[in-house]
Amino acid sequence: MTVEETQVVAEVVVPQEEPKKVVEESKRDIQEDCQVKEVEDDDDDSKPKTVQKSSSYKEESNFLSDLKEFEKKALNEFKSKIEEAILGNNLFKKEEPKKKEKESEEKEKSVNKEETQKEKQEIEGEESEKQVQEEAEKNEGGDEKENPMQECEEEKKTEVAVEENGEGIDKDVSIWGIPLLPSKGAEGTDVVLLKFLRAREFKVNDAFEMLRKTLQWRKESNIDSILDDDLGVDLSSAFYMNGIDREGHPVCYNNYGVFGNEELYNKAFGTDENRKQFLRWRFQLMEKGIRKLDLKPGGVTSLLQISDLKNSPSPSKKDLRVAMKQAVGLLQDNYPELVARNIFINVPFWYYALNALLSPFLTQRSKSKFVVARPAKVTETLLKYIPAEEIPVQYGGFKRENDFEFSNEDGGVSELVIKAGSSETIEIPAVEVGATLLWDLAVLGWEVNYKEEFVPSDDGSYTIIISKGKKMSSSEGPIRNIFRNNELGKVVLTIENSSSKRKRVLYRYKTKKSASI
């Protein structure tokens, strides 16, 4: 892969904030093998288990007591600079009048002067006589008024006093609804400032400049009002918020495969205007995600981002490359530390070649936030960070669009481990005649035999086959099925694992008294 090709790929792959984490596949496989071994060594694998999450998934603390001494020192210095900048009215760059505006003003003054010149000449005699009389009275009164120079100096002093008293100074400078003036004592101020400090490795001057540029960009781009904009383009199939992860982070999905559709591609990237709208749309989504955060110490202060590269357009497409380059740059510069994890799934072959080239240039902080999942490991990877009930069905989870069958009151998802060459059953009791039984089930990697039956409690009744036994391929998605019982008994789900590897089964079920679904 050439250097130019590498640059092309880098611009397309990274959708937000920082460079990608390099995850060595061999190392990840070793870690996964270790995790498998731990589960298989349990005394009883057949017992339902709670789905385990990643042990290393923890957001950095925003409590002052948890900061290191150099971090506390940097934060205090940062706050002092911001306080001084806001009160001194120099947080934003002073805008000088444009040359054309000056020329226009001067021209207007010249026209007005000509129009009033005749009037001035007519009353010149009267004014001269009046000035003479006022001068005489002034001399007699002992200089009751100051001369013009003294009056000008007094006006300047008044202006300075006004600024010193706080009049005309915007003390309500804020970002994402959080006041930035430290003396206001807002609970979220430290949280926001720490994001800029961490993005610049606690270098105060660099963090200060980053904050100033971000505030200037937001002001010039009208970002604070972007949530009210009707952008006239719908890219919700490509970028959308959906559910929360195990730590409560809102999850943002980036599905680049949809841009394989030529019509949608042109709608997003076909013209300069379309690309501008695309950027506005992406910033609007980011602002919506931030609205879901709790920017306070101990709160959820960042998002989880999933980037699906399956069937994504070729990185050689110029329109896409230019748009993504702009998006990456602006998101990285103006939304620091607002993504807790970047998970790339269904990555194509060229991604790994890119990783080998980029790895030496990534900081440890950047690497720690990126995770890569091969197509065969998508569901297993996502489960470490997101509960099954919050993972969309297309990624192996149980979350369906506009589906309200299951709720928190119904309990969570259970997990069953099936050893190689063995089988297990899941029983759903039917203790009331006429009830409706509903269940979801998924096997990671499938490649198992699966069947569903209703077994009556009465020995004289016949077993009812709900779903005939069949071989389920690795491409199968989660199963949802229902059964209405006319007698007491139980639904039995049988999973036979004839492969040489253990299998993880995820399932949940509920009983509804009403027959309607």
pTM for the whole thing? 0.75
Domain membership of residue 217 (yes or no) is no
Quick: pLDDT tens for 180-211: 999 999 999 999 999 999 999 999 999 999 99
Q: Judge whether residue 87 has pLDDT over 80.
A: yes
**What SS3 state is found at 93?**
coil
Residues 269 and 236 in one domain: yes
Has residue 108 been placed in a domain?
Answer: no
Domain end marker among 344, 365, 395: 395
| Domain region containing 424 | 408-512
Task: Provide the pLDDT confidence category of residue 328 given band limits of 50, 70 and 90.
Answer: confident
264 shares its domain with 360: yes
Mean pLDDT in residue range 418-428: 97
pLDDT band at 107 (very low <50, low <70, confident <90, very high): low
Quickly state the pLDDT bin for 6 (edges 50, 70, 90).
Answer: very low
3-state secondary structure of 117: helix
Give me the CATH number covering residue 424. Answer: 2.60.120.680
Residues 247 and 377 in one domain: yes
What pLDDT is attached to residue 513? Answer: 81
User: End-to-end CA distance of the chain, in Å?
Assistant: 54
Identify the pLDDT of residue 323: 86
Q: Is the model's pLDDT at 388 over the cut of 70? A: yes
DSSP summary character for residue 297: T
Q: What is the pLDDT of residue 56?
A: 46
* pLDDT at residue 374 tops 80: yes
Whole-number pLDDT of residue 315: 67
pLDDT at 274 over 80: yes
Q: Are residues 372 and 502 in the same domain?
A: no
Mean pLDDT of 63-91: 95
pLDDT, the chain, mean: 80
- Mark whether 391 and 414 lie in a shared domain: no
Percent of the chain clearing pLDDT 70 (strictly above):
70
Domain boundary pick from 395, 426, 459? 395
**Is 470 contained in some domain?**
yes
Q: Are residues 454 and 356 in the same domain?
A: no
CA nearest to 21, candidates 289, 327, 370: 370
Evaluate whether residue 341 is within a structural domain.
yes
Residue 220 belongs to some domain of the structure: no
pLDDT: which is higher, 295 or 328: 295
137 pLDDT more than 60: no
316 phi and psi angles, rounded to 5 deg: -85, -10
DSSP class of 399: B
Going by their DSSP bridges, the two strands 436-443 and 503-512 should be labelled as antiparallel
- Count of domains observed in the chain: 2
Judgement on whether residues 459 and 388 belong to the same structural domain of the protein: no
Do both 345 and 492 map to the same domain?
Answer: no
303 near 251, Cβ under 8 Å?
yes
Report the relative pairing of strands 370-373 and 339-345 from DSSP bridges.
parallel
Over range 384-406, report the average pLDDT.
95
Of the candidates 395, 419, 440, which is a domain's last residue? 395
Does residue 286 fall inside a structural domain?
yes
Q: Is residue 114 part of a domain?
A: no
Q: Which percentage of the chain shows pLDDT scores above 90?
A: 56
Note whether residue 107 is domain-resident: no
Task: Quote the pLDDT of residue 325.
Answer: 80
What is residue 207's predicted lDDT score, i.e. its pLDDT? 97
Q: In this structure, what CATH number is given to the domain that contains residue 269?
A: 3.40.525.10
Least confident of 32-46, 150-164, 399-413, 417-431: 32-46
Same domain, 459 and 312: no
> How many helices (DSSP H) and strands (DSSP E) are in the chain?
14, 16
